[in-house]
Amino acid sequence: MRYESPKTTKEAAGLLAKAKGNAFVLAGGTDLLVRLKSEVIDPDLIVDIKRIPAMQGVTKTAAGFRIGAATSCAELGENAALKKAWPGVVEAATIIGSDQVQGRCTVVGNLCNASPAADSVPAMVAAGAKAVIVGPKGRRTVGVEKVVAGPGKTTLKKGEVIEAILLGKGGAKTGDAYLRFIPRTEMDIAVVSAGICLTLGPRGIIKEAKVALGAVGPTVEIVSAATKVLVGSTLDEATLEQLAVVCSAACRPIDDKRGTIEFRTEVAGVLARRAAKIAYQRAGGK
Amino acid sequence: MAFDTQYTNQEFKVVGKRVLRPDGIDKVTGRARYGADMNAPGQLVGRILRSPHAHAKIRAIDTSKAEKLKGVKAVVTAADLPDLTRGDMGMYDTLENCMARGRALYDGHAVAAVAAIDADIARKALKLIKVDYEILPHVTDVDEAMKPGAPIVQPRIRTVGVNPAPTKPSNISQVSEFGHGDLDAGFAEADVIVEKSYKTEQTHQGYIEPHACLASVGPDGQAELWVTTQGPYMQRNTCAALLGLEVAKLRVTASEIGGGFGGKTHVWMEPVALALSRKANRPVKLVLTREEVFRGTGPTCSTSMDIKIGARRDGTITAAQAVLRYQDGAFPNIWGMLGAMTAWACYDLKNVKATAYDVLVNRPKVAAYRAPSAPMAAFGVESTMDLVAAEIGMDPVELRIKNAAKEGTRASYGPTYGPIGIGPTLEAAKNHPHMKAPLGANQGRGMACGFWFNFGGQTCVDLNIGQDGTVNLAVGTVDVGGARASLSMIAAEELGIPYEKVKCIVADTASLGHNDTTEGSRGTFSSGMATVFAARDAVRVLRERAAKTWDIPVDRVEWRDGKAHAFGDEHGNLAPLSLEELAAKAARTGGPIAGHNEIVADGAGVSFATHICDIEVDPETGKSRILRYTVIQDAGKAIHPDYVEGQFQGAAAQGIGWALNEEYIYGADGRLQNPGFLDYRIAVCSDLPMLDTQILEIPNPNHPYGIRGVGETSIVPPLAAIANAMSNAAGVRMTHTPMSPPRVLKAIREAHGA
Ligand SMILES: Cc1cc2nc3c(=O)[nH]c(=O)nc-3n(C[C@H](O)[C@H](O)[C@H](O)COP(=O)(O)OP(=O)(O)OC[C@H]3O[C@@H](n4cnc5c(N)ncnc54)[C@H](O)[C@@H]3O)c2cc1C
């Protein structure tokens, strides 16, 4: 097994492109190293991206925020501006595992691990986050929902690596929220989850809405019916009820050791309802 | 030397204080040496290959490729562990559990093992071993295993305890029955009869330290084993028998232990490590992964049971019946029997019966888990008690107080009780402020009781006084819960010296006589008793040395406050001789000063607990949160109250995890789906409120200090206490543990609609 820690994104992409056998990007390693230790994977090459300056830290840009791929989730939690603009995304990133895990793990690793239950992904999708991908053929930017193909699978091509996540500015009229269901209080994987982002127009009327559910299908489920239900409303009780119904209807979960179809379907609606209330308040709604 | 074990109500100076623990600094700084922390020159890495099948015939094992891999020093299979058990079926089962013999009986059953120069080579070697399996039908559910036509796990088994003796094999290895009186007459007298069935899923002790050992066998038949275990003598005796070693030539040293809770009272991979070392002629270190711990070592039983209680309107229970089905994994055991013995132990019942079926399934061999078998039976019994209380409109605490066993009660499992704590713990619960605290919406309160026997057994202690008057206490019961502190306190108490002057160690098997395993909460009870006597033995010697120094008769010397005092008209003016002074002069008065004791510690006092639990249930998700939890338990005498409280809290925490989320999940293929702490959900710290404790002290009449075991009883009530609280919070009666959110939400939907 070869270990490399390049200094530039291009170098990293080059190493991955040329690699023979199993090559893996190493960010925080909280998924990768666990799989390595439990002998699920047998890598020939590991490319550690934590020494690449272009992948470090959160920066403010003209369009909003840029989160370097090697930035730990704990750092997101320490960034006041990001937290103010995208509290839902930051919450999702900082409920992963525990303090120790958050000190290492990244949202890009969370995305690329491609677990249907990944916490930060529904929140990023709802917030309209984009991924900057660097590969042998250059650079492209796609919505994060385009990165995941299915459980454990991404759409990244050989030699491609994500350099950063981009988020908009947010704003006083925009609010996001993320809730997950776990049987315990921490150190758990979402049984079902909901990320919601709302933008309000005048008089508290919802102008834009995006709802993304986690762990109810092979990839994050963007519920377009929920957008229809929410937009134009002031999030009254009837809307909330309807939101729960359409979210439950959008679920395509499985029965597994973490939960039943029945449970996931019902609780998806409950979480969507509760997350919508939080997002609405954050967007200045009353 | 005979000693009086009777309780004497002695006044204590050291016992009962909260002194500093002697293992604290080592444990928090990482200096403590656990099972995996010992190394030997030239050691190899051992690894085990395990069956992926729940039930299979092993047609052949080809190890030739693995043996040829560079760096592999030994490969062993059952052929390297020949059967030396001479018809001892229990020992044969242990042998077969360590290494499959022609058949794999559960997913995770060891089939071969390798020793190599490093972990990488060992891992590769495992992949080169080819096992030819013929997959057989399997059964993992206890009720399924009892049905006619179920796949037979152990063809040799004929059910014991039924008349006439069966001739056909069965998965029911044993039927046992306890109780007295006339059930029919009792139920006929009842105004109400409540009957309910329950199920509990299988749980693991979840000790944080995986099994680990370092084994070394020389060509001359001398062997050493460093191992994390609750029973170094059990390890020695079992491993020596299985490997054909002489007991005295196998020296076993118990490492510091990172939790056992009963799971380390058996041998698992240690005989395999010794076999590898013998074959390779090098020391072998074998450390299990978490996955192996879940798949290949012993959890507790899953169960299924029917409980029936008849009562009069005034609360008198007229008849009580339990039918219990416990699965023991792939090897016969008595776990169901223990369930039947404990089921009704809290109550004074005229007509009572408990019938237990011990059942074999294709799951790992079941091991002890803290008050083994009692929590499940108590889940059924204590849940049904609440149903009875509701039916007759009586307060659940009052119903229990009315029927509580007391001194003189004939227990449902046979003996007649001496002074016991069930009544006092119930009265304490009734009067506890927790019982009156206000509750909010979706919140409910529940309570339940629990019982555990506690064990005594063979014990041996050495107490040696150093030249500066400090004291070494060598015990053979592994310190799983703070015994070194408590035993040092007892030695200090008897010798009349400060606690800090005593250093207690757990000796290796070559340095001390046999000690039974630390199980059944026996450590402080039995080694405490032996320590009292060993210290008194040393005091006798000290008095003799003082008498010799003074040249007066020994019966004119008494021991008080750490000093020899001469008394009487002739000698009263002699200045006392301290322990230090006597120790310093030992060479000139007869040599080293020591005390010893070897006993079978009888009369372990039974122990009872009552728990109170407040819970909140989210009616939309079924998620519950424990808001407040109080443990009230009889300790006999709390030698070190911090440790006693810690045991109460630890036991309750494990019970809460069991009640809410822990379970072995098997797929239709008979494979364990959650062999890791991610999906086997023990309670984490933030899941629990501070667990309040109240220690009651009802002295055990059969121990000089009144000690009862305290380590286990409090894992018994939580399952039912939580079920009862949930019923009050959410209006649903949960009859299946774990009471996980999907199960609770389903029950809420069924009870109240969407
Ligand atoms: C104890 C524990 C608890 C956990 N709890 C949670 C939880 O509550 N919620 C949750 O969602 N997850 C949880 N996880 C999983 C894990 O922590 C998260 O998925 C985490 O975000 C992964 O980030 P990482 O940086 O550590 O990824 P890594 O392990 O470094 O990488 C994960 C995958 O992504 C790929 N990858 C990483 N970076 C890039 C990149 N820049 N470009 C292309 N591919 C890349 C890697 O090759 C690998 O396949 C937990 C894990 C542990 C060990």
Residue intervals in chain B for CATH 3.30.365.10: 303-454+605-752, 456-601
- The CATH code belonging to domain B303-454+605-752 is 3.30.365.10
User: Over chain B, what is the mean pLDDT?
Assistant: 97
Contact (CB<8Å) A266/B291: no
Shortest-distance atom of ligand 1 to CA A111:
34
Report the C-alpha dihedral over residues B727, B732, B736, B737, rounded to 10 degrees. Answer: -50
- Tell whether A186 lies on the interface with B, counting CB pairs under 8 A: yes
How far apart are the C-alpha atoms of B631 and B607, rounded to whole Å? 13
Is the four-CA dihedral B201, B205, B210, B214 of positive or negative sign? negative
- Residue A146, strand partner residues: none
- Tell whether B622 lies on the interface with A, counting CB pairs under 8 A: yes
CA geometry: angle B353, B359, B364, nearest 5 deg: 135
Instruction: Please list every residue in chain A whose beta carbon sits closer than 8 Å to the beta carbon of residue B745.
Output: 263, 266-267
**Weakly modelled stretches of chain A, pLDDT under 50:** none
Q: How far is CA B171 from the centre of its chain?
A: 26
Cβ of A226 closer than 6 Å to ligand 1, yes or no, is no
B4, pLDDT greater than 90: no
Instruction: Please list every residue in chain A whose beta carbon sits closer than 8 Å to the beta carbon of residue B657.
Output: none
Cβ of A97 closer than 6 Å to ligand 1, yes or no, is yes
**Using one digit for the tens of pLDDT, what is the confidence trace for B394-415?**
999 999 999 999 999 999 999 9
Shortest-distance atom of ligand 1 to CA A93:
21
Cβ of A112 closer than 6 Å to ligand 1, yes or no, is yes
> Is-cis flag, bond preceding B738, omega within 30?
yes
Top residue of B49, B671, B684, B685 to mutate, by most chain A CBs within 10 Å, is B684
- The CATH code belonging to domain B44-136+209-258+264-296 is 3.90.1170.50
Q: If you measure from the C-alpha of residue A62 to the centroid of ligand 1, how many angstroms do you get, rounded to a whole number? A: 29
Nearest to B684 among A39, A184, A257 (CB): A184
Calculate helix-pair angle for B483-495, B528-550, nearest 10 degrees: 30
Provide the percentage of residues in chain B whose pLDDT is more than 90: 98
Nearest to B661 among A38, A181, A183 (CB): A183
Q: Which pLDDT belongs to residue B1? A: 46
| Residue in chain B nearest A39 by alpha carbon | B123
Nearest CA to CA, how far is B239 from chain A (Å)?
30
> Going by C-beta distance under 8 Å and a sequence separation of 6 or more, which residues neighbour residue B470?
B501, B502, B503
Amino acid identity, residue B460? C
Contact call for residues B312 and B191 (beta carbons, < 8 A): yes
How far apart are the C-alpha atoms of B342 and B380, rounded to whole Å? 12
Q: How far is CA B675 from CA A18, A178, B203, B288, in A?
A: 37, 29, 11, 13
Instruction: Please list every residue in chain B whose beta carbon sits closer than 8 Å to the beta carbon of residue A270.
Output: 620-621
Looking at 3.40.50.970, 3.30.465.10, 1.20.1740.10, 3.40.50.1980, the CATH number of the domain A2-168 comes to: 3.30.465.10
Q: If you measure from the C-alpha of residue A165 to the centroid of ligand 1, how many angstroms do you get, rounded to a whole number? A: 15
**Using one digit for the tens of pLDDT, what is the confidence trace for B21-71?**
999 999 999 999 999 999 999 999 999 999 999 999 999 999 999 999 999
How far apart are the C-alpha atoms of A23 and A161, rounded to whole Å? 12
Number of other CB atoms surrounding residue B92 within 10 Å: 18
Number of other CB atoms surrounding residue B406 within 10 Å: 12
CATH architecture of B456-601: 2-Layer Sandwich (3.30)
Q: What is the mean pLDDT of the segment spanning B547-557?
A: 96
How far apart are the C-alpha atoms of B624 and B627, rounded to whole Å? 9
- The CATH code belonging to domain A174-282 is 3.30.390.50
B453, pLDDT greater than 90: yes
- Residue B447, strand partner residues: B612
B2, pLDDT greater than 70: no
Give me the phi and psi of A266, to 5 degrees please: -70, -45
**Using one digit for the tens of pLDDT, what is the confidence trace for B584-594?**
999 999 999 99
Q: Where are the domains of chain A?
A: 2-168, 174-282
pLDDT band at B90 (very low <50, low <70, confident <90, very high): very high
**Residue in the block written with tokens 């019970």:** B655
Q: What is the mean pLDDT of the segment spanning B716-738?
A: 98
Q: Helices (H) and strands (E) in chain A — how many of each?
A: 11, 14
**Using one digit for the tens of pLDDT, what is the confidence trace for B315-350?**
999 999 999 999 999 999 999 999 999 999 999 999
Q: If you measure from the C-alpha of residue B639 to the centroid of ligand 1, how many angstroms do you get, rounded to a whole number? A: 48
In what helix (H) or strand (E) does residue B127 lie, and over which residues does it extend? helix B119-128
Number of other CB atoms surrounding residue B1 within 10 Å: 11
ipTM: 0.94
Secondary structure letter of residue B481 according to DSSP? S
Residue intervals in chain B for CATH 3.90.1170.50: 44-136+209-258+264-296
Report the C-alpha dihedral over residues B429, B432, B434, B438, rounded to 10 degrees. Answer: 110
- Tell whether B621 lies on the interface with A, counting CB pairs under 8 A: yes
How far apart are the C-alpha atoms of B692 and B709, rounded to whole Å? 19
Q: If you measure from the C-alpha of residue A110 to the centroid of ligand 1, how many angstroms do you get, rounded to a whole number? A: 4
* Number of residues in chain B: 754
B140, pLDDT greater than 80: yes
Kindly list the strands in the beta sheet with B130-135, ordered across the sheet, starting from the edge strand earlier in the chain. B103-104, B56-62, B130-135
Q: What is the mean pLDDT of the segment spanning B272-282?
A: 98
**Residue in the block written with tokens 């808001």:** B627
In what helix (H) or strand (E) does residue B638 lie, and over which residues does it extend? none
B707, pLDDT greater than 70: yes
B503 in helix, strand or coil?
Answer: strand
How far apart are the C-alpha atoms of B244 and B517, rounded to whole Å? 21
Q: If you measure from the C-alpha of residue B282 to the centroid of ligand 1, how many angstroms do you get, rounded to a whole number? A: 40
Secondary structure letter of residue A259 according to DSSP? B
How far apart are the C-alpha atoms of A169 and A86, rounded to whole Å? 9
